[in-house]
Structure 1
Amino acid sequence: MKSNKILNIIIAVVALVGAFLFIKIFMEDSEAIETDVDLQNSVVSPIIYYSTFLLIAAVVIAVALSLWSLIRNPENLKKTLMGLAVLGVLLVISYFLSDSEAVINAAGGISEGGEAGSATNKWVGTGIWYSIILGGVASLFFVYDLVKGLIKS
């Protein structure tokens, strides 16, 4: 119960600081904010840094708590590692399905950085195939769940 109070206090402080920075922006003239660099640095930059800090803190806390949970529960760790292994296998399959042909623009020429054999082309193709494979697997599970629900009804 005490940790819940502490968490509520932290949330309130974060919200108050964010509200203060947000109101500080609205107290200034919008035209002046767009043209005056010093005003931008004194009014807009703090909320950007604060938001960046909150994002990084949220990611670090989420990853740390997830890892802590996995360490405390070895059964979930096995399941997670198996899931990562399956995703790794699908990534390797996607990599071999992709090509590294030249990227042709609308004018029929080769786009800058899109030369044949480019590693970027290969990884973009890998990402596309990876998305297609994962979308197909998700679709199969969706149809399976739908049919299973219809059979139970």
Structure 2
Amino acid sequence: MKNNLSKILNIFIAVIAVIGAILFIRIFMTGEDDVQALSSSVGSIVGFSTILLYFAIGATVILSLIGLFRNPDNLKKTLLGVAVLGVVLVFAYFLADSNAVLDAQGKVLEGGDAGTSINQWVGTGIWYSVCLGLVASLFFVYDLVKGLIKS
């Protein structure tokens, strides 16, 4: 069964590679002067890449969910981790502000008006990164100290 699956996957990968190569060669065969043909060639490889991206995302999500539901202990750990990330996100949201975004001269940038939700979420993203970086740094130092004590 595993051997057959491996053969099928290899054939599938080869077909994808051949299609990608054909689309890539088609771009180089198109003259630089023919803008419409070049746009069509590039558009076809971009569309193909987009389909592959969606397929990869879908396969990843489906296989991850199957793996989680097969092992309930991992499901509990994953849900706990997602809950902790949610708490950190809420904490970061309350740390962020929605003040106006100013340029170097002190003028309000276009779309950077005070009180907009975009300003709030950008600030949340920044604070979220800072909070996760702090947590990661603490775990790094903890692991380093733990390693020094064992030695």
Q: Same fold (TM over 0.5)?
A: yes
How far 1:140 moved relative to its partner? 1.1
Alignment partner, residue 57 of structure 2: 59
Q: Deviations over 1:50-77 (max 9, x none)?
A: 1011011000110111111111111111
How far 1:28 moved relative to its partner? 2.9
Give the whole-Å Cα distance in 2 for the aligned partners of 1:41 and 1:116.
41
Give the whole-Å Cα distance in 2 for the aligned partners of 1:11 and 1:151.
49
Give the whole-Å Cα distance in 2 for the aligned partners of 1:18 and 1:56.
16
How far 1:23 moved relative to its partner? 1.6
Alignment partner, residue 96 of structure 1: 94
Alignment partner, residue 13 of structure 2: 11
Alignment partner, residue 21 of structure 1: 23
Q: Deviations over 1:12-32 (max 9, x none)?
A: 111111111112222233x33
Give structure 1 stretches of 5+ with no counterpart.
Answer: none
Give the whole-Å Cα distance in 2 for the aligned partners of 1:106 and 1:58.
43
For the residue of structure 2 that corresponds to 1:108, the secondary structure is coil
Q: Deviations over 1:71-123 (max 9, x none)?
A: 11111110010000000000010011111111111221111221111111111
RMSD over aligned CA atoms reads 1.3
Alignment partner, residue 44 of structure 2: 46
Give the whole-Å Cα distance in 2 for the aligned partners of 1:128 and 1:21.
40
For the residue of structure 1 that corresponds to 2:108, the secondary structure is coil
- The residue identity in structure 1 corresponding to 2:145 is V
Give the whole-Å Cα distance in 1 for the aligned partners of 2:149 and 2:18.
52
Alignment partner, residue 70 of structure 2: 72
Question: Normalising to structure 2: TM-score of the pair?
Answer: 0.92
- The residue identity in structure 2 corresponding to 1:9 is I
Checking the alignment, whether the CA contact within 8 Å between 2:27 and 2:38 is kept in structure 1 is no
- The residue identity in structure 1 corresponding to 2:26 is K
- The residue identity in structure 2 corresponding to 1:92 is V
- 1:123 equivalent in alignment to 2:125: no
Checking the alignment, whether the CA contact within 8 Å between 2:30 and 2:38 is kept in structure 1 is no
Give the whole-Å Cα distance in 1 for the aligned partners of 2:72 and 2:30.
54
Checking the alignment, whether the CA contact within 8 Å between 2:89 and 2:128 is kept in structure 1 is yes
How far 1:38 moved relative to its partner? 2.1
Give the whole-Å Cα distance in 2 for the aligned partners of 1:134 and 1:51.
32
